[in-house]
């Protein structure tokens, strides 16, 4: 389970400005950001592939919150509804930097493989005016990620950037799904 860290708190500051009817967090970890979404949205769905994360969030962080549904699943593949906001702080470090078994922080060889898979799947769950807010690291292959994003979304902007001694983190907002069957 991914516990709240600097990147979580960085994203929390940005998410405080979002409000709406229905939101999704993919990869809830401890449920820290899901709890914030529950205060700003009428209904929130949270997913995680790790059953221990889902159970922890259900029994601790989100125990007294009623306007949520937690699902143990790979990304959000079983969900068939549209969301006003989809957020994720996916594992974004390249595996060359550490332990390949720690799937909570390592997002593939270039650090973007899981994020690309995530974006490919959630674009169909985004409402017409919906937005995706996602975290990424300067240690991953940002050029390849930007090329992919440009093919998939009409709008892409960096909401915030934070420098640490070993990396820079960016929070992106994506919207306007392109009609492309090639991706």
pLDDT digits (tens, 9 = 90+) for 3-55: 778 888 999 999 999 999 999 999 999 999 999 999 999 999 999 999 999 99
Residue 13 lies in domain: 6-177
**Residue 70: inside a domain, yes or no?**
yes
Helix, strand, coil percentages in the chain from 3-state DSSP, rounded to 5? 30, 35, 35
pTM: 0.91
pLDDT at 77: 85
pLDDT at residue 182 greater than cutoff 60: no
Q: pLDDT of 140-167, one tens digit each?
A: 889 999 999 999 999 999 999 999 888 8
CB atoms under 10 Å from CB of 179, counted, come to 4
CATH number at residue 138: 3.40.50.150
**Residue 104 CA to its chain's centroid (Å):** 12
Instruction: Indicate the number of domains in the chain.
Output: 1
The answer to whether residue 183 is domain-embedded is no
Average pLDDT, the chain: 88
């Amino acid at each position: 389970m991914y516990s709240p860290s600097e990147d979580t708190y960085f994203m929390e500051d940005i998410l405080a400005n979002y409000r709406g009817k229905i939101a999704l967090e993919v990869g809830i970890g401890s449920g820290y950001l899901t709890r914030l979404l529950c205060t700003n949205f009428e209904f929130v769905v949270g997913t995680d592939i790790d059953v221990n994360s889902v159970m922890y969030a259900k029994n601790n962080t989100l125990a007294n919150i009623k306007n949520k549904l937690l699902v143990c699943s790979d990304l959000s593949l079983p969900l068939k509804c549209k969301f006003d906001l989809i957020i994720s702080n996916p594992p974004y470090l390249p595996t060359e930097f550490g332990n390949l078994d720690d799937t909570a922080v390592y997002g593939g060889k270039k650090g973007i493989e899981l994020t690309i898979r995530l974006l490919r799947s959630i674009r169909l769950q985004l409402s017409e005016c919906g937005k995706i807010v996602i975290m990424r690291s300067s240690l991953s292959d940002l050029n390849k990620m930007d090329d992919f994003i440009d093919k998939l979304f009409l709008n892409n902007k960096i909401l915030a950037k934070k420098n640490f001694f070993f990396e820079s983190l960016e929070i992106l907002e994506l919207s306007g799904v392109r009609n492309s069957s090639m991706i």
